[in-house]
């Protein structure tokens, strides 16, 4: 009882500290309050994006980028603002999943590769996205079309894995070829992330699911890698961030990231993948229309 009360008090204390910090940022914003209130609706966008991202392993950009395209953001503004919001949401999700691992999964056989997956893919992803920024490598296509086709192909691929691959016993051991593929996923996915603000988490989650690793471990790994990637990217693009949007979408994303793991607990592996695929297919199709 005392431990539960202490935990509750800690959460209240941390929540109060966050509210105070956010209020100070709001007060210091270079716009009057009435003008900033026009952006309140972005709180729901941040919450929805982070909830989806941290429950599937996809970056929040799969929600943010289509919306920003509809609002006529420039490509640079859309990507930078998506990264900034994800710094809130993916970090909250990563901390929540990491706590879940430390408390409940440390000794579990199916999660024994968790830390190694994160370490290998994160390092490669940072190298991949940093190379794109450093060498100013251009995207193969515009953000609009690249994101749309990426979403469609990924969504179709997930559906195929559900209905075409027969279930087998879940894997727990990482093989040598897994490390090779994870390095490639990090490098290639990091480059895609630099161009689209999403990529490495999605590709990693799909690979781990295809390899029959535990679905929750796959999602958790993708979330933590995505969180590290967006923090590595934000320093390169911060000058293009639409901070009025982030001021409201960021707190919403924090809440979404916190509650996402709860959603995963209510969904089966198949439902989770279908949920992920449906969103990708819908967003990709709508973007191409």
Assess contact for 88 and 46: CB atoms under 8 A.
yes
Residue that has been written with the tokens 């973007």 in this structure? 287
Per-residue confidence (pLDDT) for residue 3, from 0 to 100: 42
Q: Strand, coil or helix: what is 130? A: helix
Q: pLDDT tens, 53-65?
A: 777 776 778 788 8
Return the pLDDT at 271: 74
Give me 167's structure tokens: 């279930």
The parts of the chain modelled with pLDDT lower than 50 are: 1-7, 9-10
Cβ contacts of 98-102, under 8 Å, gap ≥ 24 = 98/220, 98/224, 100/220, 100/261, 101/220
Residue of 95, 90, 82 whose CA lies nearest to 246: 82
Where are the extended beta strands (E) located within 4-122? Answer: none
What pLDDT shows up at residue 226?
A: 94
Question: How many Å separate Cα 142 from the centre of its chain?
Answer: 21
Distance CA 45, CA 20 (A): 22
Question: Which residues lie closer than 8 Å to 86 by C-beta, 6 or more apart?
Answer: 49, 50, 53, 59, 60, 61, 64, 197, 226, 227, 230, 253
In order of 40, 97, 247, 250, the CA distances from 25 in angstroms are 14, 27, 8, 12
* Tens-digit pLDDT profile for residues 112-164: 999 999 999 999 999 999 999 999 999 888 887 888 888 888 888 778 777 76
pLDDT for the residue numbered 181: 97
The domain limits of the chain are 1-30, 40-288
Average pLDDT over the chain reads 82
Global confidence as pTM:
0.85
Cβ atoms 124, 185 nearer than 8 A = yes
């Amino acid at each position: 009882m005392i431990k539960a009360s202490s935990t509750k008090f800690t959460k209240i204390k941390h929540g109060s500290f966050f509210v105070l910090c956010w209020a100070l940022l709001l007060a210091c914003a270079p716009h009057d309050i009435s003008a900033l209130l026009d952006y309140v609706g972005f709180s729901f966008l941040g919450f929805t994006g982070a909830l989806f991202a941290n429950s599937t392993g996809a970056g929040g950009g799969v929600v943010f980028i289509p919306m920003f395209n509809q609002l006529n953001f420039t490509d640079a503004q859309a990507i930078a603002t998506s990264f900034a919001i994800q710094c809130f949401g993916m970090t909250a999700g990563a901390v929540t999943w990491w706590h879940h691992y430390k408390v409940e999964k440390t000794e579990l056989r199916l999660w024994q590769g968790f830390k190694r997956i994160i370490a290998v893919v994160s390092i490669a992803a940072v190298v991949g996205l940093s190379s794109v920024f450093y060498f100013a490598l251009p995207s193969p296509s515009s953000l609009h079309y690249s994101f749309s086709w990426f979403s469609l192909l990924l969504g179709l691929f997930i559906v195929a894995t559900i209905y075409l691959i027969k279930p087998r016993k879940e894997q727990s051991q990482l093989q040598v070829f897994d490390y090779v593929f994870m390095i490639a996923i990090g490098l290639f996915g990091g480059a895609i992330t630099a161009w689209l603000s999403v990529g490495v988490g999605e590709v990693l989650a799909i690979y781990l699911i295809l390899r029959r690793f535990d679905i929750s471990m796959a999602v958790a790994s993708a979330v933590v890698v995505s969180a590290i990637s967006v923090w590595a990217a934000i320093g390169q693009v911060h000058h293009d961030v639409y901070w009025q949007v982030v001021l409201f979408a960021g707190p919403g994303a924090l809440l979404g990231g916190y509650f996402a793991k709860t959603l995963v607990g209510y969904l089966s592996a198949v439902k989770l993948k279908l949920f992920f695929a449906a969103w990708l297919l819908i967003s990709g199709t709508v973007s191409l229309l």
